Structure formats: C-alpha cells, structure tokens
Structure 1
Amino acid sequence: MHEMSLTEGVVRILEEQAATHGFAKVKTVWLEIGELSQVDPESMLFCFDAIARGSQVAAEAKLEIVTIPGQAYCLDCAKTVTLPRRGEACPICGGWGLQVTGGGDMRIKELEVE
C-alpha cells in the first residue's frame, strides 16, 4: 500500500512546516487528491490516523480530503474533457489521444494550526 509512504511524507511536511513557521500543533489538514492520482482517499485517512499518532505536531490532527476531478485534453477532437480514471477513451469523440491536464496530483491545500 503506497498510501502509507505517502502519508509518512505528508506528516514529515507538517513537521517541517511547524519548525519553519513556529506553530506547535496541526488541527486540520486539507489534502487535495486528484481522481487520476491513483491514491485511495480511504486508505489515506486510515494511514493518517496511524502515522500522525507518532507525531507531536500532528497527533491530534484531522485529515480532510478534497477530491479534484480528472481532466485531459483530447488531441483527436481538441476538447478538454473530464475523466473519472486513466485509461479511458475521450467521452466526446471516443479517441485515445488524451493528455492529462488536471487531477493527477496530490498536495496539501491548507492547514489549520495553533
């Protein structure tokens, strides 16, 4: 499960930001996860609870997942389309020449700290 190592990275970023910006605790983390990122939001929630417990900064933090829709540009019909998952044809023309333009990332969007 690669979500465990991703979650460890998120907690490490929280600890680094706390040291850099001088806050003691993270209350809430808003994490954007793109539909095309191949990251399972439910697994991230589970892993975050387990990993954050070992962190002084994030031990009591709540993780909020914000889902970002997948988008791609179709080279065949020259349209930007919404894609629920990778490997699908263009929903407009049925073409396979798709270039992902959004929803393939995961990032920390916002923090509530004290």
Structure 2
Amino acid sequence: MASIKQVQVTFDCADPGRVARFWCEVLGYVPSPDGFACSDPSGGGPRLYFQRVPEKKVVKNRVHLDVRVGTGLVGDERLAALQTECARLMDLGAVCVRVLYADEENESCIVMQDVEGNEFCLD
C-alpha cells in the first residue's frame, strides 16, 4: 500500500481568484499562475486549491483551518498576538465572528470567516 505524501486543501467558492488572493496574504503563500491555487514557498504547508461552484455556502464548515499565530504564547501575550493578526485579516476582508477567551482547559482563540464566509480560527 502506498503512503500519502502530500495533502491539498480544496475550497468551494464563487470567486476562486478573490479567495486565493486572500489566503495567499493570510499565509504568505504564493499564487499559482492560473490564480486558482496557492502554495507555501517553503514547501512545508499544504497546497490550497479554490474551485468555482454554483451553490452558495449555507452552513458551517465541517473542516476548517487553524492559522497558528499564537503558538508558544499564553495568557495576555497570546491574546494580544491573536488580536493583532485579527485586525490585519479584517483589513483584508475577513470577519471576526467571536473571541474565545482562555479558561481552565483551553487558551484563547478567535473564530473568523474569510472573504466568502468560510470559517477558520486564529490559534
């Protein structure tokens, strides 16, 4: 049995170019020549592909990306880093859905939506 070597994450969307440009900015990825994909220039992260579909998004994603901006940070320092990134992404067209504050079990994270309403978390 062959092992899987790579994973591509595919987004259904109305405007693939717009969504691809957003995620390239978020992750520091580079766009493909056709504008429908973007990839990690270091080769470490998965390729993202954006495919046009006729239907609109109507329910919450069953799978989402966690954008890891607070790795290794805790408490107020972590929350400040998340909020700074949240503001940057809102300038790109993202929407802040809610801030989940740290409790006894989990550190803070921020739930957001991209330019077409796909949920993701700043973690």
TM-score exceeds 0.5: no
Q: Which has the larger radius of gyration?
A: 1
TM-score (norm 2): 0.26
Q: Going by fraction, where is helix more abundant, 1 or 2?
A: 1
Give the strand-richer structure, 1 or 2: 1
TM-score w.r.t. the length of structure 1 is 0.28
